[in-house]
Structure 1
Amino acid sequence: MAKVVFRQVKLQIGAGSANPSPPVGPVIGQAGANIMDFCRQFNAATEHMKKGDPIPTTVTIYKDKSFVFKLSNPPVSFFLKEGAGIKSGSSLPGKEISATISREKIRGIAEIKMQDMGAFSIEQAMSMLEGSASSMGIGVVD
């Protein structure tokens, strides 16, 4: 017999940085799952990643208080800010360019994020990323 899903939660947690404090503890604890067990498993699963990178995580908690989680790649905005060397995008996107990023870096990000984006070609993924960069006030240069 299949397990019955009690709750599904989406969180963004720093790689290797899960701990029982908010936001992880209260969300996992309210569903009745073992918080420390989740933190231990999450940190072990993300130990090969750069510590602190934001990892979108979907946690499925079952009625019997067991859980499974699925990790995704960091968000596009994180990669764009890291590639451009800035902490945040422009406060006036479309009018003010706060930084620039090269097409080579856009291609590298596209290769990582392509399967998450649903693009059929690398050029499509790059076009989507260039649009995201533009909306953040990041210019794309050759």
Structure 2
Amino acid sequence: MAKKIAEKFKMMIPAGSANPSPPVGPALGQRGVNIMEFCKAFNEKTKDKMGFKIPVIVTVYVDKSFTFETKQPPASDLILKAAGIKKGTDNPILNKVGSITKAKLDEVIDQKIADLNTNDREAAAKILAGTCRSMGIEIVD
């Protein structure tokens, strides 16, 4: 028989460095979850993605046990890393801060397509191209 779910919630946690301090500790503690157990499991699962903030969906059950599902890092973070820049622009119409090749964009698509609301690579390319455009990053051949 399946466990009864008490609550589901989302958090963004730096990969491989979850610790009991805010925001992780209070978010888990108020729901009765074993904080250190979560931190150890999360850090072990995300140690290969260091440097990114990882979206995580935590499911807490009535008996205070939990499961969690990690997602891919935000598309904007993946694009910034691929473009080799620190941050996007505040005005994408006037200021272009960098460029990314279509090959690099394809690599980002490969990583991110599981979390997007499409399975079509062309649609995923359009979604990520829009993200690039809003960050002031040009896509070049």
**TM-score over 0.5 (shorter chain):** yes
Q: How well do the aligned residues superpose, as a CA RMSD in angstroms?
A: 1.3
Q: Distance in 1 between matches of 2:138 and 2:51?
A: 26
Counterpart in 2 of 1:26? 26
Tell me the secondary structure at the aligned position of residue 117 of structure 1: coil
Q: In the alignment, residue 103 of structure 1 is paired with which amino acid?
A: K
- Return the TM-score normalized by structure 2: 0.93
Scaled by the length of structure 1, the TM-score of the pair is: 0.92
Pairs aligned (count) = 141
Match of 2:106 in 1: 107
Q: CA deviation at 1:74?
A: 0.7
SS in 2 for 1:115: coil
Tell me, in whole angstroms, the C-alpha distance in 2 between the residues paired with 1:31 and 1:94. Answer: 44
Distance in 1 separating the partners of 2:4 and 2:119: 35
Unaligned runs of 5+ residues in structure 1 are none
**What is the CA-CA distance between 1:37 and the residue it aligns to?**
0.7
* Partner residue in 1 for 2:87: 88
Q: Which amino acid aligns with 2:29?
A: G
Q: Distance in 1 between matches of 2:53 and 2:109?
A: 17
Q: Helix, strand or coil: the match of 2:16?
A: coil
User: Aligned partners of 1:93 and 1:79: how far apart in 2?
Assistant: 18
- AA aligned opposite 1:62: Y
Give the unaligned 5+ runs of structure 2.
Answer: none
Write the letter of the residue equivalent to 1:45: K
Could you tell me the percent identity over the aligned residues?
A: 45
